[in-house]
Amino acid sequence: MFKVRRAAREDVPAILEIYNDAVLNTTASADYEPRSLESRYEWFDEHARGGYPIFVAVNDAGEVVGWSSLSQFKERIGYQFTTENSIYIHPQWRGRGVGKLLMPPLIEQARTKGLHVILAIIAADNEASLKLHAQFGFEKVAYFKETIYKFGRWLDVVYMEKLL
């Protein structure tokens, strides 16, 4: 079984490991190069300062098997009620329902924070993420052709939106 909890600073190395695997091996991130531990601590601290939650899913052994977060969508004041979500799962634990556990606390915290919209920006070939978001009421609202270039090919991008 898995348990979801708020991420602690001690979880940052495991969060980084999961993210960097996605950078190197999937189209879930548009990054090419792995992030440094220092940059991921800065990311964690920036989320804490801005009141944007980060959650982790842990297995029975206490290992982080996935994480999720809300982030500021844009800095301009008019976007203050819009957030972007992220969900990343350790490759060993994908397809086991971890994402379904990480989504509800994001939605709950977005409501608690008084946000109005959650956006998910997903590579169109990431069927698992598209399905996950649809299960939680996200609707496809935009499709951008050949927006990301990664692994020697162009990738389309889908924007999904959940109005709270």
CATH number corresponding to 3-117: 3.40.630.30
CA angle 51, 163, 91 (to 5 degrees): 65
Residue found under tokens 């531990």: 37
What is the number of other CB atoms lying within 10 angstroms of the CB of residue 105?
A: 18
- Provide the β-strand partners of residue 72: 83
Question: pLDDT for 136-152, tens place per residue?
Answer: 999 999 999 999 999 99
Whole-number percent of the chain with pLDDT over 70: 100
Q: What integer pLDDT is reported at residue 157 of this predicted model? A: 98
Question: Beta-carbon neighbour count of residue 32 at 10 Å?
Answer: 10
User: Are 24 and 13 contacting, i.e. CB atoms less than 8 angstroms apart?
Assistant: no
Percent of the chain with pLDDT over 90: 99
Return the pLDDT at 89.
97
Residue ranges per domain, the chain?
Answer: 3-117
**Position 155, amino acid:** L
Query: Degrees (nearest 5) of the Cα angle 31, 37, 43?
Result: 70
pLDDT score of 136: 98
Q: Which two tokens stand for residue 60?
A: 């029975």
Q: Is 5 helix (H, G, I), strand (E, B) or coil?
A: strand
Least Cα distance to 7 among 66, 49, 61 occurs for 66
Cβ neighbours for 98, distance < 8 A, ≥ 6 positions apart? 2, 57, 65, 66, 89
SS3 for 135? helix
How do the pLDDT tens digits run along the chain, 164 residues long?
A: 899 999 999 999 999 999 999 999 999 999 999 999 999 999 999 999 999 999 999 999 999 999 999 999 999 999 999 999 999 999 999 999 999 999 999 999 999 999 999 999 999 999 999 999 999 999 999 999 999 999 999 999 999 999 99
